[in-house]
């Protein structure tokens, strides 16, 4: 039952984030300064968790660890992600995120000084599935966009794996929401200087819709989404976590297709989605730690 709940958290956040890519691409990219957009999301999420944050009785190592994961998983990741929209279309951004699962499994194995061929195989299958969905023409600036996305993919994976290991090293009786504020404070350490140095004050939101999109992204996608995602990530094995990162690709494309009527190959979407589902089965069936987690 616990495994089902944890998977449910990841699925819920996947649906939540599926809308984010299209909202950024349609209403913010090229219109609102990317550094300001990231800073706004960080500030909103920080304010949400500030009243719940526990300042005393929290080990310094735990505070520092969560700060660093926030700097990576939110700060660096989103600064690179937003910049990538200047070079890539929404489907291309989704396509270039397919390498995140490989980074998740490799980083998790590196921290444990082990090699998990099943988890890596399952992540690779999921990567193939995502690649089937969107492997077509690329824009001229795809190299720059691709490199930005790979930095974002790596830091997003590092943040997930790092947060999981930090929470395992410092188990506390108080709820994780009492310490998650440090995550966004860490992101603020990256986002605020970036806006002050690189931000363009002349490209601030100019419509109520743009402010509304930023508010929704800050509260729902960032505040609620990142908390629930990391909570679920702490309870599942690395292989499952890696694959769930790729479930965002078909979900994001469906949203982009159904709401904004973007052209998409439905056959590829169906085949690629089926391959990703198959990768979940491979991991659950053959990964020893996945079986242990499922019976906990």
Q: Which residues of the chain have pLDDT under 70?
A: 1-6, 133-140, 261-265, 284, 287-296
Across the chain, how many H-helices and E-strands are there? 15, 0
SS3 sequence of 15-56? HHHHHHHHHHHHHHCCCCCHHHHHHHHHHHHHHHHHHHCCCC
**Which residue has 């694959």 as its token pair?**
243
DSSP symbols for 204-237: S--SHHHHHHHHHIIIIIIIIHHHHHHHHHTTS-
The confidence score (pLDDT) of residue 264 equals 62
The confidence score (pLDDT) of residue 67 equals 97
Token pair, residue 180, equals 């998650």
145 sits in which H/E element: helix 142-169
pTM assigned to the model = 0.84
> How many residues comprise the chain?
296
CA-to-CA distance for 173 and 138, rounded, in angstroms?
49
The confidence score (pLDDT) of residue 285 equals 73
171-223 tens-digit pLDDT: 877 778 899 999 999 999 999 999 999 999 999 999 999 999 999 999 999 99
Cβ within 8 Å of residue 114, ≥6 positions away: none
CA-to-CA distance for 195 and 146, rounded, in angstroms?
22
87, 139 contact by CB (below 8 A): yes
120-151 tens-digit pLDDT: 787 788 778 777 765 665 566 778 888 899 89
Indicate the angle between helix axes 266-286 and 117-133, nearest 10 degrees: 170
The distance from CA 223 to its chain's CA centroid, rounded to whole angstroms, is 12
């Amino acid at each position: 039952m616990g495994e089902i709940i944890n998977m449910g958290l990841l699925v819920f956040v996947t649906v939540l984030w599926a809308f984010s890519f299209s909202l950024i691409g349609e209403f913010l990219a090229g219109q609102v300064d990317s550094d300001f957009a990231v800073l706004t999301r960080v500030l909103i999420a920080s304010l949400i968790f500030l009243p719940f944050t526990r300042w005393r009785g929290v080990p310094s190592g735990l505070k520092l660890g969560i700060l660093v994961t926030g700097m990576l998983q939110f700060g660096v990741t989103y600064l690179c992600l937003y910049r990538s929209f200047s070079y890539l279309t929404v489907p291309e951004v989704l396509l270039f995120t397919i390498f995140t699962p490989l980074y998740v499994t490799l980083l998790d194995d590196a921290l444990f000084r082990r090699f998990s061929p099943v988890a890596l195989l399952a992540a690779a299958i999921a990567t193939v599935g995502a690649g089937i969905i969107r492997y077509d023409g690329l824009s001229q600036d795809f190299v720059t966009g691709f490199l930005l996305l790979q930095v974002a993919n790596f830091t997003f994976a590092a943040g997930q794996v790092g947060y999981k290991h930090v929470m395992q090293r410092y188990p506390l009786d108080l709820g994780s929401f009492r310490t998650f504020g440090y995550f966004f404070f860490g992101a603020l350490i990256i986002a605020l200087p970036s806006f002050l140095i690189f931000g363009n004050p002349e490209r601030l939101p100019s419509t109520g819709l743009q402010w509304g999109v930023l508010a929704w992204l800050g509260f729902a996608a960032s505040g609620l989404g990142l908390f629930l995602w990391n909570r679920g990530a702490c309870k599942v094995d690395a292989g499952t976590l890696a694959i769930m990162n790729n479930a965002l690709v078909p979900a994001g494309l469906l949203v982009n297709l159904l709401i904004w009527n973007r052209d998409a190959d439905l056959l590829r979407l169906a085949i690629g989605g089926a391959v990703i589902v198959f990768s979940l089965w491979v991991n659950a069936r053959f990964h020893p730690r996945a079986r242990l987690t499922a019976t906990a």
